[in-house]
A and B are shown apart, each in its own frame.
Chain A
Amino acid sequence: MRLSHGFVRGETLSCIYHGWSYAQAGNCLRIPAHPALTPPDTIRVATQPVEDGGGIIWIPVGEPAAGPPRFDGVTPLRSMVVEADIAALEEAAGTKAAEGLLDYAHDGRTVRLLLAPEGKARTLMHVLVDEDSNPSERIAASRAAEALRRTAEHVAASGTAR
Protein backbone atom coordinates (compact mmCIF):
# COMPACT_ATOMS: atom_id res chain seq x y z
CA MET A 1 0.00 0.00 0.00
CA ARG A 2 1.29 3.47 -0.84
CA LEU A 3 2.54 5.27 2.26
CA SER A 4 1.52 8.58 0.72
CA HIS A 5 -2.05 7.69 1.72
CA GLY A 6 -0.92 7.38 5.33
CA PHE A 7 -0.89 9.79 8.24
CA VAL A 8 1.67 11.53 10.42
CA ARG A 9 1.39 11.55 14.18
CA GLY A 10 4.20 13.31 15.98
CA GLU A 11 7.40 12.21 14.29
CA THR A 12 6.05 8.96 12.86
CA LEU A 13 4.52 8.09 9.50
CA SER A 14 1.76 5.45 9.59
CA CYS A 15 0.32 3.41 6.78
CA ILE A 16 -3.44 3.76 6.24
CA TYR A 17 -3.96 0.03 5.66
CA HIS A 18 -2.83 -1.74 8.86
CA GLY A 19 -1.43 1.24 10.69
CA TRP A 20 2.20 0.13 10.80
CA SER A 21 4.21 3.18 11.81
CA TYR A 22 7.74 4.14 10.84
CA ALA A 23 10.40 6.40 12.31
CA GLN A 24 12.37 8.96 10.31
CA ALA A 25 15.16 6.43 9.81
CA GLY A 26 12.67 4.08 8.10
CA ASN A 27 12.52 1.45 10.82
CA CYS A 28 9.13 0.11 11.84
CA LEU A 29 8.10 1.28 15.30
CA ARG A 30 4.72 -0.31 15.80
CA ILE A 31 2.51 -3.04 14.36
CA PRO A 32 -0.94 -2.37 15.79
CA ALA A 33 -2.11 -5.97 15.20
CA HIS A 34 0.59 -7.08 17.63
CA PRO A 35 0.86 -4.32 20.24
CA ALA A 36 3.25 -6.30 22.44
CA LEU A 37 5.69 -6.98 19.62
CA THR A 38 8.80 -4.87 19.11
CA PRO A 39 9.16 -4.91 15.34
CA PRO A 40 12.44 -6.45 14.20
CA ASP A 41 14.90 -4.01 12.69
CA THR A 42 14.60 -5.79 9.35
CA ILE A 43 11.15 -4.28 8.85
CA ARG A 44 11.85 -0.93 7.28
CA VAL A 45 10.84 1.28 4.42
CA ALA A 46 13.15 2.94 1.93
CA THR A 47 14.01 6.48 2.98
CA GLN A 48 14.97 9.45 0.90
CA PRO A 49 17.11 12.34 2.13
CA VAL A 50 15.33 15.67 1.71
CA GLU A 51 16.47 19.21 2.22
CA ASP A 52 14.48 22.39 2.57
CA GLY A 53 16.30 25.10 0.63
CA GLY A 54 14.51 28.43 0.92
CA GLY A 55 11.04 26.83 0.95
CA ILE A 56 11.78 24.37 -1.85
CA ILE A 57 12.03 20.69 -0.96
CA TRP A 58 14.97 19.00 -2.69
CA ILE A 59 15.90 15.36 -3.03
CA PRO A 60 19.33 14.31 -4.29
CA VAL A 61 19.77 12.12 -7.34
CA GLY A 62 22.92 10.10 -6.80
CA GLU A 63 25.38 11.74 -4.41
CA PRO A 64 25.72 15.41 -5.32
CA ALA A 65 28.90 17.12 -4.10
CA ALA A 66 27.10 20.23 -2.91
CA GLY A 67 23.78 21.02 -1.28
CA PRO A 68 20.83 22.33 -3.31
CA PRO A 69 21.18 25.69 -5.04
CA ARG A 70 19.83 28.81 -3.35
CA PHE A 71 17.89 31.41 -5.25
CA ASP A 72 18.42 34.76 -3.64
CA GLY A 73 15.64 37.29 -3.59
CA VAL A 74 12.88 34.91 -4.69
CA THR A 75 10.38 32.78 -2.82
CA PRO A 76 8.39 29.77 -4.06
CA LEU A 77 4.74 30.50 -4.86
CA ARG A 78 3.24 27.28 -6.17
CA SER A 79 4.06 24.00 -7.92
CA MET A 80 2.32 22.87 -11.10
CA VAL A 81 2.37 19.81 -13.29
CA VAL A 82 2.75 20.53 -17.00
CA GLU A 83 1.87 17.85 -19.54
CA ALA A 84 4.76 18.82 -21.79
CA ASP A 85 8.53 18.49 -21.77
CA ILE A 86 11.01 21.27 -21.09
CA ALA A 87 11.58 21.89 -24.80
CA ALA A 88 7.90 22.71 -25.23
CA LEU A 89 8.02 25.06 -22.23
CA GLU A 90 11.07 26.75 -23.71
CA GLU A 91 9.33 27.19 -27.03
CA ALA A 92 6.24 28.56 -25.34
CA ALA A 93 8.32 30.99 -23.28
CA GLY A 94 10.48 31.97 -26.26
CA THR A 95 13.64 31.48 -24.25
CA LYS A 96 15.94 28.69 -23.07
CA ALA A 97 16.17 27.29 -19.57
CA ALA A 98 19.55 27.47 -17.84
CA GLU A 99 20.32 24.99 -15.07
CA GLY A 100 16.65 24.19 -14.69
CA LEU A 101 15.57 27.83 -14.44
CA LEU A 102 13.38 29.45 -17.03
CA ASP A 103 12.85 33.21 -16.88
CA TYR A 104 9.53 33.89 -18.51
CA ALA A 105 8.81 37.47 -19.45
CA HIS A 106 5.09 38.17 -19.48
CA ASP A 107 3.14 41.44 -19.39
CA GLY A 108 6.19 43.44 -18.48
CA ARG A 109 7.30 41.27 -15.61
CA THR A 110 9.50 38.20 -15.28
CA VAL A 111 8.36 34.99 -13.65
CA ARG A 112 11.11 32.61 -12.63
CA LEU A 113 10.26 28.93 -13.18
CA LEU A 114 12.21 26.06 -11.70
CA LEU A 115 11.73 22.98 -13.89
CA ALA A 116 12.12 19.30 -13.06
CA PRO A 117 11.32 16.70 -15.73
CA GLU A 118 8.98 13.88 -14.68
CA GLY A 119 9.53 11.26 -17.34
CA LYS A 120 9.55 12.23 -21.01
CA ALA A 121 6.38 14.21 -21.48
CA ARG A 122 5.70 15.84 -18.14
CA THR A 123 7.41 18.61 -16.19
CA LEU A 124 7.07 19.69 -12.60
CA MET A 125 7.15 23.48 -12.63
CA HIS A 126 7.78 25.52 -9.48
CA VAL A 127 6.85 29.17 -9.73
CA LEU A 128 9.23 31.56 -7.93
CA VAL A 129 8.41 35.21 -7.28
CA ASP A 130 10.22 38.22 -5.88
CA GLU A 131 10.48 38.01 -2.14
CA ASP A 132 9.00 41.48 -1.74
CA SER A 133 6.21 41.14 -4.31
CA ASN A 134 2.71 42.00 -3.12
CA PRO A 135 -0.36 39.74 -3.38
CA SER A 136 -1.54 41.24 -6.69
CA GLU A 137 1.86 40.65 -8.22
CA ARG A 138 1.88 37.10 -6.96
CA ILE A 139 -1.56 36.42 -8.36
CA ALA A 140 -0.38 37.86 -11.68
CA ALA A 141 2.64 35.53 -11.60
CA SER A 142 0.43 32.54 -10.90
CA ARG A 143 -1.81 33.45 -13.84
CA ALA A 144 1.21 33.98 -16.08
CA ALA A 145 2.40 30.48 -15.22
CA GLU A 146 -1.07 29.13 -16.09
CA ALA A 147 -0.89 30.89 -19.45
CA LEU A 148 2.55 29.49 -20.14
CA ARG A 149 1.37 25.99 -19.28
CA ARG A 150 -1.56 26.30 -21.70
CA THR A 151 0.76 27.36 -24.50
CA ALA A 152 3.38 24.72 -23.74
CA GLU A 153 0.78 21.95 -23.65
CA HIS A 154 -0.61 23.20 -26.93
CA VAL A 155 2.90 23.13 -28.40
CA ALA A 156 3.45 19.61 -27.08
CA ALA A 157 0.07 18.36 -28.35
CA SER A 158 0.59 19.75 -31.83
CA GLY A 159 4.15 18.42 -31.88
CA THR A 160 5.76 21.59 -33.18
CA ALA A 161 8.51 21.49 -30.57
CA ARG A 162 10.16 18.44 -32.14
Chain B
Amino acid sequence: MTRNAMIDEWYPVGLVSQLDAHGRKTALMGEPIEVRLGEDGSAKVTGGNGRVLPACIRYGHVWSSLGDPQKPLFAIPEADQPGRRLVDVGVVRVRCSPLRAVENFLDIAHFPFVHTDILGAEPHTEVQNYKVEIREDDDEVWATQVQFYQPQAAKSAQGGITTQYMYRVPAPTCSILYKTCPPRPGEWDVITLFVQPLAEDLCDVWPWMALFDDETPMTDLIHFQQTIFVQDRSILENQIPGLLPLDPGMEIPTRADLTSVAYRRWLKRHGYTYGAQLVAQ
Protein backbone atom coordinates (compact mmCIF):
# COMPACT_ATOMS: atom_id res chain seq x y z
CA MET B 1 0.00 0.00 0.00
CA THR B 2 1.26 3.47 -0.83
CA ARG B 3 1.37 6.02 1.94
CA ASN B 4 -1.56 8.43 1.80
CA ALA B 5 0.08 11.69 0.72
CA MET B 6 -2.55 13.70 2.60
CA ILE B 7 -1.41 12.28 5.96
CA ASP B 8 1.37 14.85 6.26
CA GLU B 9 -0.84 17.89 5.69
CA TRP B 10 -2.23 20.30 8.29
CA TYR B 11 -5.97 20.26 8.95
CA PRO B 12 -8.28 22.48 11.02
CA VAL B 13 -9.58 20.65 14.09
CA GLY B 14 -11.29 23.33 16.17
CA LEU B 15 -11.78 27.01 16.95
CA VAL B 16 -9.15 28.58 19.18
CA SER B 17 -11.90 30.63 20.84
CA GLN B 18 -13.57 27.41 21.99
CA LEU B 19 -10.48 25.58 23.22
CA ASP B 20 -10.70 24.45 26.81
CA ALA B 21 -8.88 22.12 29.14
CA HIS B 22 -11.83 19.74 28.98
CA GLY B 23 -11.08 19.00 25.35
CA ARG B 24 -13.00 18.38 22.16
CA LYS B 25 -13.31 14.88 20.76
CA THR B 26 -13.26 14.77 17.00
CA ALA B 27 -11.60 12.81 14.20
CA LEU B 28 -9.11 13.17 11.40
CA MET B 29 -9.24 10.84 8.42
CA GLY B 30 -10.95 8.10 10.36
CA GLU B 31 -8.80 8.36 13.47
CA PRO B 32 -10.38 9.65 16.70
CA ILE B 33 -8.44 12.63 18.07
CA GLU B 34 -8.77 14.98 21.01
CA VAL B 35 -8.05 18.70 20.96
CA ARG B 36 -7.56 20.62 24.18
CA LEU B 37 -5.95 23.61 25.78
CA GLY B 38 -2.60 22.83 27.40
CA GLU B 39 -1.50 24.34 30.70
CA ASP B 40 0.98 26.53 28.83
CA GLY B 41 -1.80 28.04 26.71
CA SER B 42 -0.93 26.08 23.61
CA ALA B 43 -3.16 23.60 21.79
CA LYS B 44 -2.63 19.90 22.51
CA VAL B 45 -3.82 17.28 20.09
CA THR B 46 -3.67 13.57 20.75
CA GLY B 47 -4.42 10.68 18.42
CA GLY B 48 -6.36 7.47 18.90
CA ASN B 49 -3.70 5.65 20.93
CA GLY B 50 -2.87 8.73 22.97
CA ARG B 51 0.10 9.68 20.80
CA VAL B 52 0.89 13.38 20.62
CA LEU B 53 0.12 14.94 17.24
CA PRO B 54 1.62 18.11 15.77
CA ALA B 55 -0.44 21.19 16.62
CA CYS B 56 -0.40 24.87 15.84
CA ILE B 57 -2.73 27.83 16.19
CA ARG B 58 -3.39 30.08 13.22
CA TYR B 59 -6.27 31.95 11.54
CA GLY B 60 -8.59 31.44 14.49
CA HIS B 61 -8.26 27.66 14.34
CA VAL B 62 -6.25 24.84 15.83
CA TRP B 63 -4.43 22.83 13.15
CA SER B 64 -3.10 19.32 13.40
CA SER B 65 -1.85 16.40 11.34
CA LEU B 66 -1.75 12.63 11.63
CA GLY B 67 1.66 12.54 9.96
CA ASP B 68 4.73 14.66 9.88
CA PRO B 69 4.12 17.97 8.09
CA GLN B 70 7.11 18.91 5.96
CA LYS B 71 6.12 22.58 5.76
CA PRO B 72 4.60 25.10 8.14
CA LEU B 73 0.93 25.90 7.53
CA PHE B 74 0.39 27.99 4.36
CA ALA B 75 0.63 31.75 4.71
CA ILE B 76 -2.27 34.19 4.44
CA PRO B 77 -0.38 37.50 4.68
CA GLU B 78 -3.65 39.49 4.71
CA ALA B 79 -4.57 37.86 8.02
CA ASP B 80 -2.01 40.08 9.76
CA GLN B 81 -2.97 43.28 7.95
CA PRO B 82 -4.15 45.91 10.45
CA GLY B 83 -7.78 46.95 10.22
CA ARG B 84 -9.25 43.64 9.16
CA ARG B 85 -12.07 42.01 11.12
CA LEU B 86 -11.34 38.32 11.67
CA VAL B 87 -14.53 36.26 11.63
CA ASP B 88 -14.86 32.77 13.13
CA VAL B 89 -17.89 31.48 11.24
CA GLY B 90 -18.07 28.17 13.17
CA VAL B 91 -18.27 24.57 12.13
CA VAL B 92 -20.82 23.00 9.79
CA ARG B 93 -20.77 19.24 9.26
CA VAL B 94 -21.45 17.96 5.76
CA ARG B 95 -21.92 14.37 4.61
CA CYS B 96 -19.69 14.74 1.57
CA SER B 97 -16.13 14.26 0.40
CA PRO B 98 -13.80 16.95 1.79
CA LEU B 99 -12.51 17.46 -1.74
CA ARG B 100 -16.04 18.02 -3.05
CA ALA B 101 -16.48 20.73 -0.43
CA VAL B 102 -13.39 22.55 -1.68
CA GLU B 103 -14.31 22.13 -5.33
CA ASN B 104 -17.75 23.62 -4.75
CA PHE B 105 -16.07 26.62 -3.11
CA LEU B 106 -14.05 27.19 -6.30
CA ASP B 107 -17.16 27.21 -8.49
CA ILE B 108 -18.99 30.40 -9.41
CA ALA B 109 -21.41 29.09 -12.04
CA HIS B 110 -23.82 27.88 -9.36
CA PHE B 111 -24.29 31.30 -7.75
CA PRO B 112 -27.51 32.29 -9.59
CA PHE B 113 -29.23 29.00 -8.75
CA VAL B 114 -27.99 28.15 -5.28
CA HIS B 115 -27.29 31.63 -3.85
CA THR B 116 -30.11 33.33 -5.71
CA ASP B 117 -30.34 37.11 -5.25
CA ILE B 118 -27.22 37.14 -3.06
CA LEU B 119 -24.20 35.93 -5.01
CA GLY B 120 -25.97 35.67 -8.36
CA ALA B 121 -29.27 35.95 -10.18
CA GLU B 122 -30.68 35.04 -13.55
CA PRO B 123 -30.23 36.28 -16.25
CA HIS B 124 -26.68 37.21 -15.15
CA THR B 125 -25.41 33.66 -15.41
CA GLU B 126 -22.50 34.01 -17.78
CA VAL B 127 -19.01 33.08 -16.56
CA GLN B 128 -16.42 35.15 -18.43
CA ASN B 129 -13.04 33.66 -19.27
CA TYR B 130 -10.49 33.81 -16.49
CA LYS B 131 -6.93 32.61 -15.90
CA VAL B 132 -5.93 29.44 -14.07
CA GLU B 133 -2.45 28.23 -13.24
CA ILE B 134 -0.60 25.89 -10.94
CA ARG B 135 2.09 28.09 -9.41
CA GLU B 136 5.04 25.77 -9.28
CA ASP B 137 7.11 27.84 -6.82
CA ASP B 138 4.45 27.82 -4.15
CA ASP B 139 2.83 24.60 -5.36
CA GLU B 140 -0.63 26.18 -5.28
CA VAL B 141 -3.60 26.32 -7.64
CA TRP B 142 -4.58 29.90 -8.56
CA ALA B 143 -7.47 31.34 -10.55
CA THR B 144 -7.34 35.05 -11.33
CA GLN B 145 -9.37 37.63 -13.26
CA VAL B 146 -12.57 35.89 -12.29
CA GLN B 147 -15.61 38.14 -12.32
CA PHE B 148 -19.30 37.74 -11.74
CA TYR B 149 -22.35 39.96 -11.38
CA GLN B 150 -23.69 39.81 -7.81
CA PRO B 151 -26.90 41.30 -6.40
CA GLN B 152 -25.55 41.31 -2.79
CA ALA B 153 -21.84 40.53 -2.89
CA ALA B 154 -21.23 41.10 0.83
CA LYS B 155 -23.15 42.15 3.90
CA SER B 156 -21.74 45.63 3.29
CA ALA B 157 -22.69 45.80 -0.43
CA GLN B 158 -25.34 48.32 -1.51
CA GLY B 159 -27.06 46.77 -4.52
CA GLY B 160 -25.63 44.76 -7.39
CA ILE B 161 -22.01 44.97 -8.51
CA THR B 162 -19.68 43.04 -10.77
CA THR B 163 -17.37 41.38 -8.29
CA GLN B 164 -13.76 40.46 -9.00
CA TYR B 165 -12.42 37.23 -7.54
CA MET B 166 -9.14 35.37 -7.12
CA TYR B 167 -9.05 31.80 -5.84
CA ARG B 168 -6.21 29.97 -4.23
CA VAL B 169 -5.77 26.33 -3.16
CA PRO B 170 -2.70 26.06 -0.92
CA ALA B 171 -3.54 22.65 0.61
CA PRO B 172 -5.74 19.76 -0.51
CA THR B 173 -8.67 20.64 1.75
CA CYS B 174 -8.24 24.38 2.12
CA SER B 175 -9.09 27.23 -0.18
CA ILE B 176 -8.89 30.99 0.06
CA LEU B 177 -10.82 33.44 -2.06
CA TYR B 178 -10.12 37.10 -2.52
CA LYS B 179 -13.04 39.24 -3.63
CA THR B 180 -13.93 42.86 -4.24
CA CYS B 181 -14.22 44.66 -0.94
CA PRO B 182 -17.17 47.08 -1.25
CA PRO B 183 -16.13 49.53 1.53
CA ARG B 184 -12.46 49.56 0.53
CA PRO B 185 -11.85 49.56 -3.23
CA GLY B 186 -8.26 48.53 -3.90
CA GLU B 187 -8.23 45.91 -1.14
CA TRP B 188 -9.48 42.34 -1.29
CA ASP B 189 -11.75 40.69 1.24
CA VAL B 190 -10.41 37.30 2.31
CA ILE B 191 -12.81 34.39 2.71
CA THR B 192 -11.54 30.91 3.42
CA LEU B 193 -12.89 27.41 3.55
CA PHE B 194 -10.90 25.20 5.90
CA VAL B 195 -12.07 21.60 5.68
CA GLN B 196 -11.40 18.94 8.30
CA PRO B 197 -11.65 15.50 6.69
CA LEU B 198 -13.39 13.17 9.17
CA ALA B 199 -13.81 10.37 6.64
CA GLU B 200 -13.68 10.12 2.86
CA ASP B 201 -17.35 11.04 2.73
CA LEU B 202 -17.74 13.21 5.83
CA CYS B 203 -16.22 16.54 6.79
CA ASP B 204 -16.39 19.40 9.22
CA VAL B 205 -16.16 22.68 7.39
CA TRP B 206 -14.74 25.76 9.13
CA PRO B 207 -15.28 28.91 7.07
CA TRP B 208 -13.22 31.91 8.22
CA MET B 209 -12.95 35.49 6.99
CA ALA B 210 -10.65 38.51 7.22
CA LEU B 211 -12.67 41.50 6.06
CA PHE B 212 -12.45 45.26 5.85
CA ASP B 213 -15.84 46.24 7.25
CA ASP B 214 -16.07 48.48 10.28
CA GLU B 215 -19.83 48.86 10.14
CA THR B 216 -21.48 45.47 10.10
CA PRO B 217 -21.96 43.81 13.51
CA MET B 218 -19.93 40.59 13.93
CA THR B 219 -23.05 38.43 14.24
CA ASP B 220 -24.33 39.69 10.87
CA LEU B 221 -21.02 38.82 9.24
CA ILE B 222 -21.21 35.31 10.68
CA HIS B 223 -24.82 34.87 9.58
CA PHE B 224 -24.11 36.07 6.04
CA GLN B 225 -21.43 33.46 5.56
CA GLN B 226 -23.40 30.70 7.30
CA THR B 227 -26.31 31.47 4.98
CA ILE B 228 -24.11 31.02 1.93
CA PHE B 229 -22.49 27.86 3.18
CA VAL B 230 -25.69 26.16 4.31
CA GLN B 231 -27.23 26.90 0.90
CA ASP B 232 -24.39 24.79 -0.51
CA ARG B 233 -24.78 22.01 2.02
CA SER B 234 -27.75 20.22 0.47
CA ILE B 235 -26.04 20.39 -2.92
CA LEU B 236 -22.89 18.83 -1.47
CA GLU B 237 -24.85 16.05 0.20
CA ASN B 238 -26.47 15.10 -3.10
CA GLN B 239 -23.45 14.95 -5.38
CA ILE B 240 -23.10 11.86 -7.54
CA PRO B 241 -20.63 10.20 -7.34
CA GLY B 242 -19.92 11.11 -3.73
CA LEU B 243 -16.16 10.88 -4.10
CA LEU B 244 -14.43 13.41 -6.35
CA PRO B 245 -13.54 11.81 -9.71
CA LEU B 246 -9.93 12.64 -10.54
CA ASP B 247 -9.82 11.01 -13.96
CA PRO B 248 -11.42 12.91 -16.82
CA GLY B 249 -14.52 11.38 -18.37
CA MET B 250 -16.99 11.04 -15.51
CA GLU B 251 -18.10 14.65 -15.49
CA ILE B 252 -18.15 17.16 -18.32
CA PRO B 253 -16.21 20.35 -17.64
CA THR B 254 -16.76 23.59 -19.54
CA ARG B 255 -14.61 26.73 -19.62
CA ALA B 256 -16.29 27.85 -16.41
CA ASP B 257 -14.83 24.82 -14.63
CA LEU B 258 -11.15 25.40 -15.37
CA THR B 259 -10.35 25.99 -11.69
CA SER B 260 -11.87 22.65 -10.82
CA VAL B 261 -10.00 20.94 -13.64
CA ALA B 262 -6.70 22.36 -12.37
CA TYR B 263 -7.56 21.42 -8.78
CA ARG B 264 -8.30 17.83 -9.75
CA ARG B 265 -5.14 17.61 -11.80
CA TRP B 266 -3.08 19.02 -8.92
CA LEU B 267 -4.66 16.57 -6.44
CA LYS B 268 -3.91 13.66 -8.73
CA ARG B 269 -0.34 14.71 -9.36
CA HIS B 270 0.34 14.79 -5.61
CA GLY B 271 -1.56 11.63 -4.83
CA TYR B 272 -4.02 13.64 -2.71
CA THR B 273 -6.73 11.04 -3.10
CA TYR B 274 -8.45 10.87 0.28
CA GLY B 275 -12.08 11.60 -0.73
CA ALA B 276 -11.35 11.02 -4.41
CA GLN B 277 -12.05 8.23 -6.83
CA LEU B 278 -9.92 7.10 -9.73
CA VAL B 279 -11.60 5.45 -12.70
CA ALA B 280 -8.77 2.96 -12.97
CA GLN B 281 -9.37 1.67 -9.43
Contact = CB atoms under 8 A, between A and B. Distances in A.
B149 to A, nearest CB: 12
Interface string A1-40: 1100100000000001111000000000001111101000
Contacts of B125: 19, 32-33, 35
Contact of A18 (B109, B126, B240, B255): B109
A31 B257 CA distance: 12
Given A2-B240, A16-B113, A43-B252, A32 B235 contact: no
Contact of A1 (B122, B235, B252): B235
B113 A34 contact: no
A34 B127 contact: yes
A1 B110 CA distance: 12
A46 to B, nearest CB: 12
Contact of B109 (A1, A33, A43): A33
Interface string A32-59: 1111010000010000000000000000
B254 A31 contact: yes
Interface residues of B, number: 19
B243 to A, nearest CB: 15
Contacts of A18: 107, 109-110, 113, 256
A57 B4 CA distance: 48
B232 to A, nearest CB: 10
A35 B109 contact: no
A32 B120 CA distance: 12
A32 B238 contact: no
A32 B122 contact: yes
A17 B113 contact: yes
Given A1-B239, A5-B238, A33 B114 contact: no
B238 A1 contact: yes
A137 B122 CA distance: 48
Interface in B93-112: 107, 109-110, 112
A16 B256 contact: no
Contacts of B107: 18
A19 B256 CA distance: 13
A33 B126 contact: yes
Contact of A17 (B126, B235, B255, B256): B235
Interface of B: 107, 109-110, 112-114, 122, 125-127, 234-235, 238-240, 252, 254-256
17 contacts: A1-B235, A1-B239, A2-B238, A5-B234, A5-B235, A16-B113, A16-B114, A17-B114, A19-B122, A32-B113, A33-B109, A33-B127, A33-B254, A33-B255, A33-B256, A34-B254, A37-B254
